[in-house]
Amino acid sequence: MTELPEWQAARRIKCNPDAPQRAVRLAALRQGKTVVMAVPRLRAERCFLRLDPRDLQGKLARAATIKGASTLGVPVSPAQIGRIDLIVAGSVAVNPTGARLGKGGGYSDLEFALARAVGVVDETTPVVTTVHELQVVDDAIPMTAHDVALDIVVTPERVIRARRRHKKPAGVFWEELSPAQLAEMPALAKLAQRRARPSRRRA
């Protein structure tokens, strides 16, 4: 992972909070990169945690853990994240076309859509996953318009640059979110309210 040119060029990385990617988060912090993690289920208005290694001297290993990040990370709103240079996503299964199967909650895709809506990621932002070789399958994995396709798959044995067939979501698919879901995710609810307000025209 750390030998990828996309990794080496990145200064700010968004990484999923799962335990299998702890080593990735720690490597990023040790190399002076800022790590951004989402609050579980986007349950807060400031729904991302920013880990700046300059503020974490002597605490990098702890900050790379889920529990440590929750106490040492600085809560920020989506608009306060800053430009994300690389996204590391967790996956249950992937295939060589960049299709990815997550844990089923859809939060990774929502995090990308939210970041895209506020302009901190775009179509060119590289999305990488780290998986065991056994998690790479040749079978088709269904992808919808709101699913985030992978650019790179990293296993202990190889690096796969995906033959991507799908574009990344251009934003939030509001019609797929119920009022109950929005109520549980304040950052999305706030963005939806702004979107619903009529624009003011200058007199």
Per-residue pLDDT of the chain (203 residues; tens, 9 = 90+): 899 999 999 999 999 999 999 999 999 999 999 999 999 888 889 999 999 999 999 999 999 999 999 999 999 999 999 999 999 999 999 999 999 998 877 889 999 999 999 999 999 999 999 999 999 999 999 888 889 999 999 999 999 999 887 889 888 988 888 888 888 999 988 888 887 766 554 44
Residue 166 has a pLDDT of 81
End-to-end Cα spacing for the chain: 54
CA distance 57 to 46: 24
The secondary structure element, H or E, covering residue 26 is: helix 22-30
Residues written for the chain: 203
At residue 59, what is the residue type?
K
Nearest to 19, CA basis, from 58, 57, 68, 52: 68
The pTM for the full model equals 0.90
Residue 49 has a pLDDT of 96
Residue 198 has a pLDDT of 61
Contact 51, 73 (CB under 8 A): yes
* Domains annotated on the chain, with CATH: 5-161 (3.40.50.10420)
Residue 145 has a pLDDT of 85
Contact 127, 89 (CB under 8 A): yes
Angle at 47 between CA 200 and CA 65, to 5 degrees: 160
Residue 6 has a pLDDT of 97
Q: What are phi and psi of 172, to 5 degrees?
A: -85, 135
Distances (CA, A) of 86 to 26, 42, 71, 121, 128: 15, 20, 23, 9, 8
